[in-house]
Amino acid sequence: MHVFEHLRLHPERPQIRQIRRAIEIMRQGHFLVVPTDTTYVMLCLPQAVDALADIRAFRRLDDHHMWSVVCADLSQAATCVRMDNHAHRILKRCLPGAYTFILPASSTLPRRIFGKRKDVGIRIPDHLVCQMLLEEVGEVLLATTLQLPGLDEPEHDPDDFVPRLKHLSCAVLDAGWAGMVPTTVVDLCESEPVLLREGAGEWPA
């Protein structure tokens, strides 16, 4: 059954009932479009096969696309990745924030999504709407940037992108314009951090 809802929220005082409604839609197997401290992202539960398929089709992603795992805090992140003391200190210093950190994956991540990958990107966004959603849902979510195929920049204006999503089963948490610069990506799988993409987060942090 097709479900689409455009939920408007105050960016500084988000209405919890709107967030709970979005979670209800997500738990029905659909995806969400949510603002972060960088760009809008498409979020879903790891087990939501139809939502993952819809996101892949919309963005024309292949099976090798690297999904980010979005967490509410470091303790939740520790259930998905393995981190030594050095990596933990870096994450504690930088997160929540505009970074994606690549870390060795734990065995709990679903093989059907991550395949034989031995690493995964972790995100803890510093945005009140996203944080409230993550705390309320109580589990990690999969994310990818809201970006249309063939375009170089993410979508940032809900007035532009909402009409393009109405044919899909999802909910948009609209808190106004978002940024257009993606996260800074840092690989922490080796002994020294490696900057893979310079983005909104300053590095060295």
Domain ranges of the chain: 65-149+179-205
CATH topology of domain 65-149+179-205: DHBP synthase (3.90.870)
Q: How is residue 80 written in tokens?
A: 């998905």
The whole-angstrom separation of Cα 128 and Cα 134 is 10
Which of 39, 10, 41, 42 lies closest to 168, judged by CA?
42
The whole-angstrom separation of Cα 157 and Cα 97 is 21
Confidence band for 118, pLDDT divided at 50, 70 and 90? confident
The average pLDDT across 125-148 equals 96
In a 3-state reduction of DSSP, which class is residue 187? strand
pLDDT value of position 106: 86
Please state, in angstroms and as integers, the Cα–Cα distance from residue 173 to each residue in 55, 119, 187, following that order.
16, 29, 30
pTM (predicted TM-score): 0.95
Q: Does residue 84 surpass a pLDDT of 80?
A: yes
The average pLDDT across 117-146 equals 95
Report the b/e string of 140-159 with b at 16+ CB within 10 A: bbbbbbbbeeeeeebbbebe
